[in-house]
Amino acid sequence: MADKETQQPEELPVVFLHRPPSFILPFGDHLRSQFHVLDPYESPEPYDSFLARHAPSIRALMTMGPTLVSAEFLDRLPALELIVATSAGLDHIDLPACRSRGIVVTNASSAFAEDVADCAVGLLIDVLRRISAADRFVRGRMWPVKETYPLGFKLGGKRVGIVGLGSIGSEVAKRLSAFGCTIAYTSRNKKQSVPFPFYANVRDLAANSDVLVLCCALTKETYHLVNKDVMVALGKEGVIINVGRGSLINEKELVQCLVGGEIGGAGLDVYENEPNVPKELFGLDNVVLSPHSAGGTPEGFEAVLQLTVGNLKAFFSNKPLVSVVSNE
Amino acid sequence: MESIGVLMACPMNSYLEQQLENRFKLFRFWTVPDKSSFLASHKDSIQAVVGNAFAGADAKLIEALPKLEIVSSFSVGLDKIDLATCKEKGIRVTNTPDVLTEDVADLAIGLMLAVLRKLCESDRFVRSGKWKRGQYVLTTKFTGKRVGIIGLGRIGMAIATRAEAFSCPISYYSRTEKPEIKYKYYPSVVELAANCDILVVACALTTETHHIINREVIDALGPKGVLINIGRGPHVDEPELVSALVEHRLGGAGLDVFEHEPEVPEELFGLDNVVLLPHVGSGTVETRQAMADLVIGNLEAHFLKKPLLTPVV
């Protein structure tokens, strides 16, 4: 260890940091002790010349936040072999371009899985039992005036359909099973090792569920996966929880369905045009809104750091990567 | 059974009211302007009273109804029913146990998640448009937190099985250790509080458990600890809790019950580390229907001379 600390940064493996200018790296020091971090926003040199000068040495890139990794950007990094994403979703990365270049991509969904699943369950209980609305009722001094608060709905016995049974979806299933919910799912492929019923499409899943929990990746195939047709199939008492990405749902139709009573409620952590949230939702008591914060705990970030560093170290020592995304 | 008079003590549930109306001769006591003349004229036909946690059958009402055979309560607690008088007169009493266990346990976990992950605060943040002006704060992870349960009865056990699905280590306090249970036992509430991150009150309210959450317990739980109360308001020394929250000596609280409901201490309204609910532990459509079905099932069993479903007396 002592040797490592005395190493000059230039002797450490090079990692290019791809981040929005405003993004503050929560664990920069830890990374810098192990890698030679190239951060264009820390250099006085203009971005383009910085990138061009270092490109031949950049084999590994780390993305922070939703910064785009487009095919054009990848063209400027001819030596790139690895992209380490610190997010669960990879919709900001041009995966087909990575595939054709043979660039391997890792994500951090396993590090976020527990926190995001906790948030999904929290949002669901909140919607069904009207927790945020009831808190508003008490703080608004309505309890002594109205005396009784409207009844909520029981979680136990609800049929929960999980869209995307990856690391996050599996954690959601495990938690909700303990509440007496029955679980079913849809995903690209049926999973042999899973005991839950599989539906080939989200509409059939919705028709057989009281609750839909969205925790799949946003891809061309899953864009607007949940539309009015799916919501009508879910039904007037149905609840949608979205901890995936905003564009998994046709937001305009979601708002119409909520306002028109076509579905019973929603718990949303993500939106189509963040941080803009449709203001029609602000007056509704059957929705719970959170600001894309499902993964936002210090413990979660620590887990992301461990996973990210683990992937980078494995890459530079030619060992198997920890969280490779299958990019077929 | 249409000729059997059933007196409903107060409004409690529209489904129950409708079902009673369909089966019995239903009297709505709260709509009666002159109670004593009403009782005098119907005393020979009323054979059953349906009560709840707010109105039941006291000694005076029981005396006024000589034909009363059964009091079927739409509640678990029976503090509004004079059980001694019922026993003495051979009047049967039933309640609605078990059916609300899951709801209360679900709400306890919901409160834990809402406090740790700041769900209500985040909902306020989005609705007020603050998101456009900056990022939301980081919140606290729930999975893996040490959960301490006071009172490991049905509700306490249901909370434990749910929290286990979040990989939370469980410990508990109760009057006596339960040797068949694998969870860690602490012989005092203070020791339990000192060894958990989230302390949840799930015991019955008795003279021994009145103010079971006092200053000493709150201090043991500490500035990162979270208190959840889904029991009864008087379990907690409320002024002590309020000052601990205001002075940041306690990390947060999720409260469904209060000492002087519906009054809630004003000081709590400005805090973002508390979640405040209007006593909705069993407040779900499904559970109220199950409770109503039990009330009716008990009445029907009684008048058909079958064994009662959930007898107390």
Three-state SS sequence of chain B: CCCCEEEECCCCCHHHHHHHHHHCEEEEHHHCCCHHHHHHHHCCCEEEEEECCCCCECHHHHHHCCCCCEEEECCCCCCCECHHHHHHHCCEEECCCCCCHHHHHHHHHHHHHHHHCCHHHHHHHHHCCHHHHCCCCCCCCCCCCCEEEECCCHHHHHHHHHHHCCCCCEEEECCCCCCCCCCEECCCHHHHHHCCCEEEECCCCCCCCCCCECHHHHHHHCCCCEEEECCCHHHECHHHHHHHHHCCCCCEEEECCCCECCECCHHHHHCCCEEECCCCCCCEHHHHHHHHHHHHHHHHHHHCCCCCCCECC
> Where residue B107 sits, what CATH number does that domain have?
3.40.50.720
Is residue B228, in this structure, part of any structural domain at all? Answer: yes
Q: Distance between CA B261 and CA A45 in Å, rounded?
A: 65
B49 and B158 both lie in a single domain: no
Q: Distance between CA B57 and CA B78 in Å, rounded?
A: 10
42-101 of A, contacting B, C-beta below 8 A: none
> Radius of gyration of chain B from Cα atoms?
22
List Cβ neighbours of B248 (8 Å cut-off, separation of 6 or more): B223
Domains, chain A, in order of start with CATH, read 2-107+297-316 (3.40.50.720), 112-289 (3.40.50.720)
> Is B264 close to A138, i.e. CB distance below 8 A?
yes
Of A122, A290, A296, the CB nearest to B110: A122
Is residue B140, in this structure, part of any structural domain at all? Answer: yes
pLDDT at residue B54, rounded to an integer: 82
pLDDT at residue A81, rounded to an integer: 98
> Is A118 close to B144, i.e. CB distance below 8 A?
no
Of A175, A291, A299, the CB nearest to B136: A291
Is residue B309, in this structure, part of any structural domain at all? Answer: no
B246: closest CA of chain A, how far (Å): 16
**Closest residue in A to B255 (Cα–Cα):** A135
A55: closest CA of chain B, how far (Å): 32
Structure tokens that stand for B257 in this block: 């019950």
Decide: A210 and A238 in contact? Cβ < 8 Å.
yes
Q: Is some CB atom of chain B closer than 8 A to the CB atom of A119?
A: yes
Decide: B249 and B219 in contact? Cβ < 8 Å.
yes
B296 and B169 both lie in a single domain: no
Domain of B227, in residue numbers: 101-276
pLDDT at residue A7, rounded to an integer: 62
Q: B6 — alpha (psi -120 to 50), left (phi > 0) or beta?
A: beta
Q: How wide is the angle at C-alpha A36 spanned by C-alphas A34 and A38, nearest 5°? A: 135
Largest CA distance in chain A: 70
A292 catalytic per annotation: yes
Chain A residues within 8 A of B117 when measuring between CB atoms: 118-119, 122, 293, 297
> Radius of gyration of chain A from Cα atoms?
22
Q: How wide is the angle at C-alpha A96 spanned by C-alphas A250 and A222, nearest 5°? A: 20
Within 10 A of A317 (CB to CB), how many other CB atoms are there? 8
Q: Distance between CA A259 and CA B16 in Å, rounded?
A: 30
B78 and B120 both lie in a single domain: no
B75 and B125 both lie in a single domain: no
pLDDT at residue A2, rounded to an integer: 45
Q: Distance between CA A56 and CA A139 in Å, rounded?
A: 59
Q: Distance between CA A37 and CA A61 in Å, rounded?
A: 10
For the stretch B16-43, pLDDT in tens is 999 999 999 999 999 999 999 999 999 9
pLDDT at residue A26, rounded to an integer: 67
Structure tokens that stand for A141 in this block: 């001094």
pLDDT along chain A (328 residues), means of 10: 56 93 75 93 94 97 91 97 94 95 95 96 98 98 92 97 96 98 96 95 98 96 97 98 98 98 98 97 97 93 92 97 89
Which of A22, A130, A138 to mutate: most B Cβ within 10 Å? A138
Q: Distance between CA B95 and CA B72 in Å, rounded?
A: 6
Q: Looking at this protein, which amino acid is placed at residue B95?
A: N
Among residues A156, A241, A138, which one has the least CA distance to residue B106? A156
Which of B102, B131, B170 to mutate: most A Cβ within 10 Å? B131
Of A114, A134, A290, the CB nearest to B143: A114
Q: Distance between CA B131 and CA A279 in Å, rounded?
A: 13
Decide: B255 and B275 in contact? Cβ < 8 Å.
yes
Of B103, B262, B285, the CB nearest to A147: B262
Chain A residues within 8 A of B264 when measuring between CB atoms: 138, 143
Which of B142, B198, B230, B268 to mutate: most A Cβ within 10 Å? B142
Chain A residues within 8 A of B144 when measuring between CB atoms: 114
B294 and B166 both lie in a single domain: no
Within 10 A of A87 (CB to CB), how many other CB atoms are there? 19
Q: Is some CB atom of chain B closer than 8 A to the CB atom of A2?
A: no
B261 catalytic per annotation: yes
For the stretch B262-310, pLDDT in tens is 999 999 999 999 999 999 998 999 999 999 999 999 999 999 999 999 9
Q: A245 — alpha (psi -120 to 50), left (phi > 0) or beta?
A: beta
**Closest residue in A to B13 (Cα–Cα):** A151
23-42 of A, contacting B, C-beta below 8 A: none
Is residue B129, in this structure, part of any structural domain at all? Answer: yes
B68 and B128 both lie in a single domain: no
Q: Which of the residues B21, B88, B164, B261 is marked catalytic?
A: B261
**Closest residue in A to B283 (Cα–Cα):** A151
Q: Which of the residues A32, A101, A224, A292 is marked catalytic?
A: A292
List Cβ neighbours of B31 (8 Å cut-off, separation of 6 or more): none
Q: Distance between CA B63 and CA B57 in Å, rounded?
A: 10
pLDDT at residue A284, rounded to an integer: 97
> Is B262 close to A115, i.e. CB distance below 8 A?
no
A245 catalytic per annotation: yes
Bridge partners for B105 per DSSP: none
Is residue B160, in this structure, part of any structural domain at all? Answer: yes
Q: Which of the residues A18, A245, A251, A253 is marked catalytic?
A: A245
> Is A291 close to B107, i.e. CB distance below 8 A?
no
Q: A127 — alpha (psi -120 to 50), left (phi > 0) or beta?
A: alpha
> Is A135 close to B284, i.e. CB distance below 8 A?
no
B38: closest CA of chain A, how far (Å): 27
Which of A143, A271, A287 to mutate: most B Cβ within 10 Å? A143
B142 and B41 both lie in a single domain: no
Is residue B67, in this structure, part of any structural domain at all? Answer: yes
Cα torsion A265, A267, A271, A272 to 10°: value is: -40
Q: Which long-range contacts (C-beta less than 8 Å, at least 24 apart) are formed by A313-320? A: A313/A34, A315/A59, A315/A60, A315/A81, A315/A82, A315/A84, A316/A13, A316/A60
Q: Looking at this protein, which amino acid is placed at residue A209?
A: S
Q: Which of the residues A274, A280, A299, A328 is marked catalytic?
A: A274
127-186 of A, contacting B, C-beta below 8 A: 128-132, 134-139, 141, 143-144, 147, 149, 151-157, 174-175, 177-180
List Cβ neighbours of A77 (8 Å cut-off, separation of 6 or more): A16, A51, A55, A58, A61
B89 and B166 both lie in a single domain: no
- Give the phi and the psi of residue B60 in degrees, each rounded to 5: -65, -45
Among residues A15, A27, A105, which one has the least CA distance to residue A69? A105
- For chain B, residues with pLDDT lower than 70 are none
A319 burial (CB, 10 Å; 0-12 / 13-18 / 19+) is exposed
Which of A146, A155, A242 to mutate: most B Cβ within 10 Å? A155
Total of domains in chain B: 2
B203 and B69 both lie in a single domain: no
Q: Which residue has the tokens 């239903």?
A: B26
Cis amide bond preceding B11, omega within 30: no
B121 and B266 both lie in a single domain: yes
Of A153, A177, A297, the CB nearest to B139: A297
Is residue B308, in this structure, part of any structural domain at all? Answer: no
> Is A131 close to B277, i.e. CB distance below 8 A?
yes
Among residues B249, B303, B239, which one has the least CA distance to residue B273? B249
B87 and B114 both lie in a single domain: no
pLDDT at residue A23, rounded to an integer: 74
Chain B residues within 8 A of A152 when measuring between CB atoms: 280, 283-285
B25 and B131 both lie in a single domain: no
Is residue B201, in this structure, part of any structural domain at all? Answer: yes
Q: Distance between CA B247 and CA B249 in Å, rounded?
A: 5
List Cβ neighbours of B8 (8 Å cut-off, separation of 6 or more): B17, B20, B26, B27, B28, B29, B30, B49, B50
pLDDT at residue A327, rounded to an integer: 83
pLDDT at residue A1, rounded to an integer: 43
- Give the phi and the psi of residue A131 in degrees, each rounded to 5: -65, -55
**Closest residue in B to A134 (Cα–Cα):** B277
254-313 of A, contacting B, C-beta below 8 A: 274-277, 282, 288-293, 296-301
